[in-house]
Amino acid sequence: MDTRARPTLALARELIARPSVTPDDAGCQALIAARLAPLGFRSETLASGVVTNLWARRGDAAPLVCFAGHTDVVPAGPREAWATDPFTAVERGGYLHGRGAADMKGSLAAFVTAIESFVAAHPRAAGSIALLLTSDEEGPAVDGTVKVVEALAARGEAIDYCVVGEPSSAARLGDTIKNGRRGSLNGVLTVRGVQGHVAYPQLARNPIHQVAPAIAELAAIRWDDGNAYFPPTTWQCSNIRAGTGAPNVVPGVLELHFNWRYSTESTRESLIARLASVLDRHGLDYALDFPSEGRPFLTPRGRLVDVAAEAIRAVCGVAPELSCSGGTSDGRFIASICRELVELGPVNATIHQIDERVRVDDLEDLSAVYRGILDRLLAPSGPA
């Protein structure tokens, strides 16, 4: 196949060949920076710990349109389970197979070729274009995008429009735009009792018995009603630990792990206050810890959502739905310095799976969608 006619496919193959298992970038960002350099992009490598981050920008004027994503991938799993080597891009049955094909090296390749096409057509277009990449999205996400955002905020560099290349599509390319994500707040509840012999319960205080009614009440709470974009907030227990392992000992301590997936109708503070009021009412001796959180974000219908939908209709012939479903993404960090943000990428049916793949034809179409967004936001005459 002549890859000159399919530049996005060619670049996606190069990126997949680099085994960038989180947090190793494996040279992906250097490859992309080298492609952008002839276009006038100024690239900064912002390393943090073992994580590699890239901020590349062309131009200084507003508006600033940013494409954001990650070069790291999840581990491939057992090689023998794959039909072909996960880090050798293989075309089969109209699909490109390889770890990261859909999440998200296909999107990264489409970013680059869309930018190259746009700059060739509009070398003196108004505004600026940027690319924000990290090798920490699939990992703890503490040294990646959040560090770049902190650096940009410190120097007063804001983003007007951001497209995150997460695989947002459900059944076909462009059928879904993610215009927000629920918040995620992980908590640990420690309930203190008094250890003792099960035959003498009057001399002990069983934290399992004490917390059980509170758990039932918390599980039944309607935290909020959601809104036009988000479903109602949910609270779920994920792990519970108590006891010594002996059948005749009342445990002295219980540890409960839980999570909220919350809408913009609730806040961290409101959720914690409501939780504490239940625990207090049940007279528990307890402690709370909140080890990790992803704040919710939302971009209502507006310029970027409309432009992305127009570009999708023009290229893919579908009218995309707006969705705030799924887990967290790095969009939660970028939203703090960006007024409008969406997630738009390939079909997500095989992400993190054995034999991950993306439709070959979708790669060039995705590049055309990204190009259409640039045309509508930055080109003086609109789409070419």
Cβ atoms of 28 and 108 within 8 Å: the answer is yes
Q: In this structure, what are the phi and psi dihedrals at residue 202, rounded to the nearest 5 degrees? A: -70, -15
Single-letter residue type at 350: T
Is 356 annotated in the active site? no
91 catalytic per annotation: no
Choice among 25, 137, 330, 365 that is catalytic: 137
Per the CB < 8 A criterion, the answer to whether 154 and 300 are in contact is: no
Residue at token pair 């918040």: 183
Task: Tell me how far apart the alpha carbons of residues 225 and 207 are, in angstroms, rounded to a whole number.
Answer: 32
d(CA 161, CA 337): 10
C-alpha pair distances (Å), 230 with each of 163, 178, 326: 20, 11, 11
Question: Which entry of 72, 143, 224, 356 is annotated as an active-site residue?
Answer: 72
**C-beta separation of 311 from 51 below 8 A:** no
> Would you say 135 and 72 are in contact if contact means Cβ atoms under 8 Å apart?
yes
Please state, in angstroms and rounded to a whole number, the distance separating the CA atoms of residues 185 and 382.
41
Short-list 344, 333, 334, 264, CA closest to 304: 344
Residues in CB range of 96: below 8 A, 6 or more apart: 9, 12, 13, 16, 89, 90, 106, 357, 358, 359, 360, 363
Query: Which two three-digit tokens encode residue 300?
Result: 């209502």
User: Hey, which bits of 165-269 come out as E strands?
Assistant: 176-178, 180-181, 183-192, 196-197, 234-242, 249-250, 253-262
346 upstream amide cis, omega within 30 of 0: no
**Residues classed as catalytic:** 72, 137
